[in-house]
Amino acid sequence: MKVLFVEDEAKIANFVRAGLKELGFVVDYCDNGDEGYLRALDHEYDAIILDIMVPGKDGLSILKQLRREGRNAPVILLTARNELDDRLQGLNLGADDYIAKPFFVEELAARIHAVVRRSVGERQNLLVVGSIKLDRITREVTCNQRAIELTSREFNLLEYLMRSPGRVFTRTQILEQVWGYDFHPNTNVVDVSIQRIRKKVDSIDEASWIESIRGVGYRFRKPEST
């Protein structure tokens, strides 16, 4: 899952980002509300985590404006324990959940999964294209009903491609969406990861679901194109 994390306290931000990435999330981070609001408008996120007290637009203002714009991505508010009024106001503005500081990253991850389940429903969390089935909640992948063991990054990459069968993604797009902005655009991590996924899938099904588009990037093939 790709999440937007808006938090200005560096220690909390670094701890949460590292923890969520270890749990398989792709984390897009910023430390002020103005930038956070613009990113929430310009990108699609599975969930948004907002600290209420951030520089620029505060978390409640961001939430209010996003809901006015019709943006329905689940929002989790980060609050201090004594901010009851803010929590109530946030829920009334359309927040899906809140978590009080301090908290465990594992609890935050569980809450993210919970709000996403409520938001999109269990059926939409199951991606099925051809012989491949991918469960975004349990993070299980099968090919012809046989389990495929993927790393967290491989899972995120496969999910990203399977969301839009037939659409061609450039390496830069894949890097930004799956790896974030921490990698040099000339790195070959995308190609290496694609090769590893192909090897695992092709050992079960030789249909070559992930196609290379020379000079451009990759796409997950539509079943009807066989």
pTM, full prediction: 0.60
**What integer is the mean pLDDT of 173-199?**
84
Report the percentage of the chain scoring pLDDT > 70.
Answer: 92
- Banded model confidence at residue 82, pLDDT cuts 50, 70, 90: low
Burial class (CB in 10 A: 0-12, 13-18, 19+), 6: buried
Least confident of 11-15, 66-70, 156-160, 164-168: 66-70
Flag whether pLDDT at 122 surpasses 60: no
- Going along the chain from its start, the domains and CATH numbers come out as 2-121 (3.40.50.2300), 125-225 (1.10.10.10)
**What integer is the mean pLDDT of 11-38?**
94
Flag whether pLDDT at 211 surpasses 90: yes
Flag whether pLDDT at 25 surpasses 70: yes
**What integer is the mean pLDDT of 128-154?**
90
> Which residues make Cβ contacts (< 8 Å) with residue 103, sequence separation at least 6?
none
CB 63 within 8 A of CB 39: no
Flag whether pLDDT at 226 surpasses 60: no
CA neighbours within 13 Å on the CB side: how many for 40?
A: 31
Least confident of 42-46, 86-90, 159-163: 86-90
> Which residues make Cβ contacts (< 8 Å) with residue 196, sequence separation at least 6?
154
Q: In this predicted model, which residue has the larger pLDDT, 195 or 225?
A: 195
